[in-house]
Amino acid sequence: MDPADVVSGFPGVEEFAGMSDAWHWSPVPGLDFAAALSEDRRHLFQVNARDSYDEGLVRALLAEARKNGTRLLSGDALLTAIPGFQHPGRDFDVLAAARPGVHRYHEVQQPELQEVTWAVFPGYECEFTRANRYSVDDARESFIRFLTPANLDRAPVPFLRVRYFNTVTKGETGGDCILVKPEILYHELKLLDGAQGSFVEFENFRGQVFRVEWDLDWILSGAGGDEVRRMRLDDLLAFAAKSLHV
C-alpha cells in the first residue's frame, strides 16, 4: 500500500500549497484535513482541524513532523511531544504526535492507511507527562477528551492524574489515579474543608506527586510525607494551578 496513492485519490483532495508530497481535503465546511508523506514515503503525518483551520500553522506542523520523522516513527511511545515548536501569533511550544491505535483517523474506511498514519498537532509542554507512562486507554482518553487535537485554537489542558477519597461526600476514585481536568482537582480540594480523614493526591506533568489532607487546615505534602505545609485554601489552589503549568 502506497500512502500517496491512497490520499491523492480522496474526493476533493488537492495538493497542499508550498509542500511536496502533501495534500489538503475538506469533506464538509469547517472540517479540514492535511497530510504529508514522511521522508521514507512509507508513513503519513496528518493534521485535522475543526472550525480552526490555519494553513500557515498546519504547514509548519507538517514540515516539523517530516523533519522529526525518525524520532516520531521510532520507538513505541503512544504520545510524543517534541519541544521547541513555535509559530507566529501562537503560544504552542511542542509538536505532538499520536501513533496508530491512539488516534483512529482511518480505522474504518482505510485500515491499511490507518496503520501508517501518525496524527500530529500543536501542544503545550505541560500537557504531556515526562515519564511517558501512558496505558493505551489513558493515551486514547487524553488524546480525545483533553488534548482535542482538531481544535487548533485551544488553550492548554495540563496533564493531571488525581486520586481522592472524601469521608463526607463519599466521593472517591478507588485505588488508581485517573486523568481529569484541573477543575476537578480544585473542586475536590475545596471539598476537603471539614472532612477529617479525607485526602487528595495529584500528579503533574513533571511526575511530581502531592498529597493534601484536612486537619483544621489544608495540609500539603509530597506523597512520601515530606515538606509538610499548612495552607489556606486560596494559597493551596494557587500552588496547585502553578504546579500544573510550570
Task: List the beta bridge partners of residue 103.
Answer: 100
Residue 70 within any structural domain of the chain: yes
Number of separate domains in the chain? 2
Task: Tell me: do 86 and 201 sit in the same domain.
Answer: no
Does residue 189 contact residue 232 with C-beta atoms inside 8 Å? no
Q: Summarize pLDDT for 130-152 with one digit per residue, the tens.
A: 876 788 999 999 999 999 999 99
Task: Tell me: do 77 and 197 sit in the same domain.
Answer: no
Task: Tell me: do 53 and 134 sit in the same domain.
Answer: yes
Q: Summarize pLDDT for 6-34 with one digit per residue, the tens.
A: 999 999 999 999 999 999 999 999 999 99
Provide the domain limits for residue 227.
161-245
Task: Tell me: do 77 and 183 sit in the same domain.
Answer: no
Q: Which of residues 87, 111, 146 is at a domain's end?
A: 146
Residue 153 within any structural domain of the chain: no
Does residue 90 contact residue 141 with C-beta atoms inside 8 Å? no
Q: Which of residues 119, 146, 173 is at a domain's end?
A: 146
Task: Tell me: do 114 and 10 sit in the same domain.
Answer: yes
Whole-model pTM: value is 0.92
Residue 151 within any structural domain of the chain: no
CA angle at 121 for the pair 117 and 132, rounded to the nearest 5°:
85
